[in-house]
Amino acid sequence: MLRKLSLTALAAALVASGAAFAQEDHGEEGESHSAAGDHSAYIENYSFSFEGPFGSYDEDQLLRGLQVYTEVCSACHGLRYVPIRTLSDEGGPNMPEDQVRAYIEQNGLEVWDPALRDYRPATPNDNFPMSSLANAPDLSLMAKARVGGADYIASLLTHYTGEEMEQAGSIYYENETYGGYLAMQPPLSDGYVEFQDGSPNDLHHAAQDVAAFLMWAAEPHMMARKAMGFTAVLMLGLLSVLLYLTNKRIWAPIKARVKDQTPAE
Ligand code: HEC
């Protein structure tokens, strides 16, 4: 009975660890298909610091990504579900609070205040502004909303084919990752953004930096979730060992008795 129990506990531990690690798998497809178009969509597999069961966000990369977002993407896209103060979060960009305030001021971030019925300067407690271009989707949850996550975003920015198409007065741009034509012109190019830390600012690096930042925006507590999953696996493992030992101990006298009574051959 107890042996069965310990086996069950072991199985539970294995299932739990499977589940905990399976969650990390997104973003490692290498190549997968998106629902966006009917063409076969290509998603490049990048190596991000936050992948794997022990991966974590790279603070410097998040800060570079914030810079790309601010200087390029925010012209059209918003991050309306992300509180600005979370830029100070540990495990995130970890920006000192005074720098967050300076960031707001330097970039003139404003939010709509329904009470004033006007825009006012943002405070750290406000969320990032919403998209300023009506047809540009909000990016707060984009990294979770697309198959491939951060890989999808970095891939999207780097896989324009150069083909354009005009339809009803608007221009559409062909993109392999999108799997068709989309209304966003290539927003980034080599050397477009200048990083203060002198990091490479070619298209591929800048695209990965902003993709990492958007992954953090969509899932700021990824590290905590991973730590919790790991603790759960550890506890279940410990429990199985304890159950196994208890089982042995309880049956030991009975086993010894049975052994004594078996006639020697
Ligand atoms: C000039 C305005 C503009 C800029 C700048 C811009 N975008 Fe876009 N973006 C758009 C529009 C418009 C769409 C909607 C395209 C469509 O659905 O056809 C879009 C769509 C997207 C999508 C969703 C694609 C999909 O799968 O549906 C992502 C992701 C994205 N943009 C990321 C970015 C990032 C990251 C940056 C900054 C590096 C950026 N964009 C800069 C206008 C812009």
CA distances 81 to 64, 84, 85, 138, Å, are: 20, 9, 12, 9
Q: Return the CATH architecture of domain 46-159+187-220.
A: Orthogonal Bundle (1.10)
Residue 193 pLDDT more than 90?
Answer: yes
1-34 burial, b for 16+ CB within 10 Å, e for fewer? eeeeebeebbeebeebbeebeeebebbbeeebbb
Work out the number of other CB atoms within 10 angstroms of the CB of residue 107: 13
Cβ(135) – ligand 1 distance below 6 Å: yes
Average pLDDT of the segment spanning 236-256: 95
User: In this structure, which residue's CA is closest to atom 29 in ligand 1?
Assistant: 153
Cβ(183) – ligand 1 distance below 6 Å: yes
Give the distance (Å) from ligand 1 centre to CA of residue 137: 7
Give yes or no for a contact between 148 and 27, defined as CB atoms under 8 angstroms apart.
yes
**pTM exceeds 0.85 for this model:** no
Cβ(178) – ligand 1 distance below 6 Å: yes
User: In this structure, which residue's CA is closest to atom 14 in ligand 1?
Assistant: 136
Give yes or no for a contact between 220 and 75, defined as CB atoms under 8 angstroms apart.
no
Query: For 87-130, what is each residue's pLDDT tens digit?
Result: 999 999 999 999 999 999 999 999 888 999 999 999 999 999 99
- Smallest CA-to-CA distance from 207 within 250, 137, 142, 153 is with 153
Cβ(64) – ligand 1 distance below 6 Å: no
Residue 158 pLDDT more than 60?
Answer: yes
Residue 36 pLDDT more than 50?
Answer: no
Element (H, E) at 180: strand 180-182
Q: So where are the chain's domains? A: 1-27+222-265, 46-159+187-220
